[in-house]
């Protein structure tokens, strides 16, 4: 049986190129953040997204190309067949990084972009030593509610948060701008934008989903067996070009 999906060899410069390399190395994400791109020959409809995504992860051609990182840092295929997928809708509507202006307005960062420090504490395995990470992780913090749940579910905000938290071996930034710059560049490369024929305004046409894959024993096998937030997999689907981009990251 021929595959409904076809792998495309494509390098995403914002992840594998030189522009963001220094930051990704510093944040412990270089070599652990990876993309896989595919095309598909069937229609995508939001109403049947779960079955579409399960078909994708069960496809033999996809399974031969899609990889995950092991504990020793090797890239391998999934060890067992996917039988269930958990799909979470992710908002994707932002056309600028204005959402991060609020960090200045609420004094999370100073006028020059420097991030305000706080007393050290840990959230899971992540060290919190500044007001930015506290805002991102601690629901009881004074500034947590400056962003709504809907805003926090925006793909751009999620990328920003992932880069702020980094990998297991991470050197945190003292200034917020590198986080904003890398999040913006990766976001821009992953999503698709079109001009609306009526309003002439730009609009995002991509759909974004956070996904987890389970085997027949109901064990999570992708992106990892853990429940760590920094182990993640996103699908970015362009229904016009019929492209699927898998964005994967392993924390440890």
Binning pLDDT at 50, 70 and 90, where does residue 126 land?
confident
Mean pLDDT of 142-170: 96
pLDDT at 104: 98
Q: pLDDT band at 105, cuts 50/70/90?
A: very high
The pLDDT of residue 216 is 95
251: its two tokens: 């924390």
* pLDDT band at 68; cut points 50, 70, 90: very high
What span, in angstroms and rounded, lies between the C-alpha atoms of 240 and 226?
A: 34
What rounded mean pLDDT belongs to the chain? 95
pLDDT given for residue 42 in this prediction: 86
Helix (H, G, I), strand (E, B) or coil at 190: helix
pLDDT at 2: 62
End-to-end CA distance of the chain: 38
Per-residue HEC secondary structure of 24-62 comes to HHHCCCCCCEEEEEEEECCCCCHHHHHHHHHHHHHCHHH
Looking at residue 196, its pLDDT comes to: 87
pLDDT at 74 over 80: yes
Q: What is the DSSP string of 14-34?
A: HHHSSTTHHHHHHTT-TTTEE
> Do residues 41 and 12 lie in contact, with contact meaning Cβ atoms separated by under 8 Å?
no
- The ranges assigned to domains in the chain are 5-91+205-249
pLDDT over threshold 80, residue 235: yes
* Mean pLDDT of the region 159-173: 95
Mean pLDDT, range 184-208, rounded to an integer: 95
Position 62 confidence tier, pLDDT thresholds 50, 70, 90: very high
Per-residue pLDDT tens digits for 1-54: 567 999 999 999 999 999 999 999 999 999 999 999 999 998 899 999 999 999
Tokens at 57, concatenated: 């992860």
User: Distance from CA of residue 9 to its chain's centroid?
Assistant: 20
User: Is the pLDDT assigned to residue 233 strictly greater than 90?
Assistant: yes
């Amino acid at each position: 049986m021929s595959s409904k999906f076809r792998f495309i060899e494509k390098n995403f410069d914002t992840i594998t190129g030189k522009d963001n390399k220094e930051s990704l190395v510093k944040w412990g994400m270089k070599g652990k953040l990876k993309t896989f791109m595919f095309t598909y020959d069937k229609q995508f409809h939001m109403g049947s997204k779960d079955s579409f995504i399960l078909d994708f992860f069960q496809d033999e051609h996809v399974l031969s190309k899609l990889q995950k990182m092991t504990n020793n840092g090797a890239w391998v295929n999934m060890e067992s067949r996917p039988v269930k997928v958990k799909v979470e809708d992710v908002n994707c509507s932002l056309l600028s990084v204005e959402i991060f202006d609020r960090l200045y307005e609420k004094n999370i960062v100073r006028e020059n972009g420097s991030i305000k420090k706080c007393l050290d504490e840990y959230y899971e395995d992540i060290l919190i030593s500044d007001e930015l990470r506290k805002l991102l992780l601690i629901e009881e913090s004074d500034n947590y509610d400056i962003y709504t749940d809907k805003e926090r579910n925006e793909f751009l905000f999620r990328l920003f948060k992932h880069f702020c938290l980094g990998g297991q071996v991470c050197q945190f930034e003292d200034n917020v701008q590198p986080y904003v710059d890398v999040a913006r560049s990766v976001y821009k490369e992953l999503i698709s934008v079109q001009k609306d024929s009526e309003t002439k305004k730009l609009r995002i046409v991509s759909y974004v989903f956070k996904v987890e894959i389970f085997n027949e024993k109901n064990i999570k096998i992708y992106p990892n067996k853990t429940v760590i937030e920094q182990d993640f997999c996103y699908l970015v689907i362009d229904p016009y070009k019929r492209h699927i981009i898998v964005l994967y990251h392993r924390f440890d």
